[in-house]
Structure 1
Amino acid sequence: MLSTLDNISIPERQEAAMKEFCKFFHEPIPEKVTLVPCNSVVALLHWKVLLLLAASLSEDERAYWVLNFQAPEDVQSVAEAMPIQPKYPEAFDAHFLLDRTLHRLQLQQGGMKDMMDAVPVEERR
């Protein structure tokens, strides 16, 4: 799900922490942890990987995790902290990168017309 177009660099400090997890769980320690290609189970700790895994859950699977793994009472719920964003952007800034936008829309290639055809646009008056 991640590609080299995504910013997939891992800071040294985070990589060091990931390697400590490897040691703790007696997992092989890679020379360098990479997300693309994923070369260690410890890459599952990276926030982008966790976000993609969570986003791929069905509604029933999300409900299972929420029900069975309650957050501490003093922690604000995710629903309150981060409202669900629409799948497609509602608007663009005056500057955007067409190649990255096409990638996020899961379009392999194309131009502005292909992107506009892929996203429903509401007419406003």
Structure 2
Amino acid sequence: MLSTLDNTSICERQEAAMKEFCKFLHEPIPEKVALVPCNSVGALLHWKVLLLLAASLSEEERAYWVLNFQAPEVAQPVAEAIPIQPKYPEAFDAHFHLDRTLHRLQL
């Protein structure tokens, strides 16, 4: 799902974290971490890789991860962190695809 046409980049701070992750896992550390082609397990720390992995999970798989790997007690509960919003938006940005908006609204 990642391609060379994608403008996703890795900043210095992310690359340092990815290399430390590799070191922690005792995995080979590449000289330069790349997403396309992915050359390191450290790429799992990049937001785009995590987003693509999460998006590829089925509803059942997501429920499994949420149920078995809950947030620590010290973390702020999601219900408190995100204000409750009405089910239907008063307006939406027309830039987004209507089919995705309708799907999110369960219509």
- 1:7-29 Cα shifts (integer Å, max 9, x gaps): 22100121012111111211111
The residue matched to 1:63 in structure 2 has which SS?
A: helix
| Segments of 4+ moved more than 3 angstroms | none
Identify the residue that residue 76 of structure 1 maps to in structure 2.
77
With CA pairs under 8 Å and 6+ residues apart, which has the higher RCO, 1 or 2?
2
AA aligned opposite 2:78: S
Measure how far apart 1:90 and its partner are: 6.3
Measure how far apart 1:43 and its partner are: 0.5
Residue 91 of structure 1 pairs with residue 98 of structure 2 = no
Distance in 2, Cα, partners of 1:6 & 1:24: 29
Using structure 2 for the length normalisation, give the TM-score. 0.70
Aligned residues: 91
Identify the residue that residue 61 of structure 1 maps to in structure 2.
61
Measure how far apart 1:65 and its partner are: 0.5
Using structure 1 for the length normalisation, give the TM-score. 0.61
Identify the residue that residue 15 of structure 2 maps to in structure 1.
15
Distance in 1, Cα, partners of 2:25 & 2:70: 25
- 1:31-83 Cα shifts (integer Å, max 9, x gaps): 100001101111111111001100110000000001101113442328x74x9
Identify the residue that residue 2 of structure 1 maps to in structure 2.
2
Distance in 2, Cα, partners of 1:35 & 1:54: 17
Measure how far apart 1:4 and its partner are: 2.1
- CA RMSD in angstroms, aligned pairs only: 2.9
| Aligned counterparts, 1:29-68, within 5 A | 29-68=29-68
Distance in 2, Cα, partners of 1:48 & 1:37: 14
Identity of aligned residues (%): 76
| Aligned counterparts, 1:104-119, within 5 A | none
